[in-house]
Amino acid sequence: MQRKIYIIVLFYACSLQLQAQYDKSDTSYKKHFIGSSFFMLANFDTNETPNYYQLNYGYRITPKDVISIEAITWNYYEPVGIPYGSEKTDEINNFPGKVQAYGIGFAYKRFLWRKSYVAVHSTAFHQNYLNENNKKIQSGFQLFNTLRFGYQFSFFNNRFFIEPSIAFTYWPINTNLPNSFQVEEDKWPNYFLFEPGLHFGFNF
């Protein structure tokens, strides 16, 4: 579902007239932005809805250096480390319930050539583990880190932007899972490679 959203929106973005680079003397340059992720469109999926919501606030220290804070909440139903393939969509790998995660993260982005960039994110998640009856069993903590490579496309005199990206994620800390959840979690690595991302934002 996430890959389908990524492809559709990226195709639309590339069909528009793009402004790919800030000019230092351009009066359209803006210091602040708010943004989110197109992954929220997956909330329209009635099967295992992720209830994914994200809000970012960012500040451009320089035209090339950006810091931001991110608030994220979502539900997931299987170990995040399951790699691409048939096993990722096989319900036999699901948890006996779901995980509700609420997190605050910080990110640093560095623009490289033109509007290509590399970014690092670190998000601390409070996680509630719910059984199949939607009852909370217990809570835990996850530290979720991301290395992201992407490109920013700007529109409407730099008021709006879209950022397609590829990410590598790693969660070295993931605590207090119920035993039935831990059994499934231990079958898979604590990292995920080549995760597509598609973020957007408004500059001001």
Query: For the chain, what are the domain ranges?
Result: 2-203
Return the structure tokens found at 5.
């959203």
Parallel/antiparallel/unpaired status of strands 32-37 and 53-60: antiparallel
Model pLDDT, residue 14? 45
Q: What is the pLDDT of residue 25?
A: 54
Mean confidence (pLDDT) of the chain: 90
Q: Which CATH number fits domain 2-203: 3.30.450, 3.40.50, 3.90.550, 2.40.160?
A: 2.40.160
Angstrom distance (rounded) from CA 139 to CA 126: 7
This prediction has a pTM of 0.85
Residue 198: exposure state from Cβ atoms within 10 A (0-12, 13-18, ≥19): buried
What is the tally of helices (H) and strands (E) in the chain? 2, 9
Tens digit of each residue's pLDDT (9 = 90 or more) over 19-32:
344 444 556 789 99
Share of the chain above pLDDT 90, in %: 83
At residue 9, the pLDDT reads 47
Is residue 164 very low, low, confident or very high in pLDDT (cuts 50, 70, 90)? very high
List the one residue out of 38, 44, 41, 43 whose CA is nearest residue 10. Answer: 38
Mean pLDDT, rounded, for 35-54: 93
Pairing of strands 97-111, 136-151: unpaired
pLDDT tens profile 80-135: 999 999 999 899 999 999 999 999 999 999 999 999 999 999 999 999 999 999 99
Q: What is the pLDDT of residue 27?
A: 60
Measured distance CA(105)–CA(143) in Å, rounded: 9
CA pair distance 170, 183, nearest whole angstrom: 19
DSSP structure class, residue 43: G
pLDDT of residue 26: 57
Of the ranges 3-7, 38-42, 74-78, which one carries the lowest mean pLDDT score? 3-7
Q: By the 8 A CB rule, do 177 and 129 touch? A: yes
From 101, 115, 12, select the one nearest 63 (Cα to Cα): 115
